[in-house]
Structure 1
Amino acid sequence: MQIGKVNRVRLGLFPTPLQELAALSRGLGIRLFVKRDDLSGLGLGGNKLRKLEYAMAEAKEKGATAIITAAAANRLGLKPRLVLVGKKPETATGNLLVDRILGVEEIHYVDYVKGDT
């Protein structure tokens, strides 16, 4: 398979900008920039989102109707489902609240067994 022929769905707002860190640059005596992948538009860092653009294209090609990755699945009209290690908390906080906003309706909790991958 050739890299140029791998299918991809556009999920992120790429390319993301470079931003100069002016104060730190002055302090270090160099020009220092940061890649603003937090502005990719999906609440994920750039590396994960870039990878998902290819994984989600493959899932759609294979006729997937559900996938275990919330933000990208939601954007493509798939039903996001989560498999989380640990016990279900009594009250949803933090990431679980974000998951609900992203359309997650089904969460499965599993016990972690050492050596599992």
Structure 2
Amino acid sequence: MIPFKRISLGFYPTPLVKLESLTKLLAGPEIYIKRDDLTGLAFGGNKTRKLEYLLGDAVAKGCDVLITGGAQQSNHCRQTAAAAAQYGLQCHLVLGGHQPDEFNGNLLLDKLLGAHLHFC
């Protein structure tokens, strides 16, 4: 088995929060939510966990560029751009659709994080 390389990108453990109102509404099982939005990397999200392994592998192999794709408001792309910036890697994002006249949301954050944006 090949050992996986991992680098730390998030703040763990993220909290587990009981959803009191939903638990009460369902009059039954206690329901909890894992707050991975609090991982800390570019506004958090569960994508941080997989990026720790993808980026760890890339860094271990001496890569200097990350390339990924997704929708223009992709959370994965936003977090990839943040991880690349944190480790001094270039980031190229291949995004669906035409380049908008104005950038907002994740697209704006991608740009501010230094990602090279490619629209197709």
TM-score (norm 1): 0.80
SS of 1:80's equivalent in the other structure is: strand
Shift of 1:38: 0.5
Larger Rg: 1
Q: Distance in 2 between matches of 1:55 and 1:70?
A: 13
Q: Distance in 2 between matches of 1:39 and 1:21?
A: 16
Letter of the 1:79 counterpart: Q
% identical equivalent positions? 46
Shift of 1:101: 2.8
Letter of the 2:23 counterpart: S
Q: Distance in 1 between matches of 2:40 and 2:105?
A: 19
Q: Which residue of 1 aligns with 2:106?
A: 95
TM-score (norm 2): 0.78
* Corresponding pairs, count: 106
Runs of 5+ consecutive residues of structure 2 not aligned to the other structure:
68-79
Residues 1-117 of structure 1 correspond to what in structure 2 (within 5 A)? Answer: 1=1, 5-30=3-28, 31-42=30-41, 43-46=43-46, 48-68=47-67, 69-104=80-115, 106-110=116-120
Q: Distance in 2 between matches of 1:35 and 1:61?
A: 30
CA RMSD of aligned residues (A): 1.6
Letter of the 2:32 counterpart: F
CA deviations on 1:64-90 (whole Å, 9 max, x unpaired) are 111123121112121222111221111
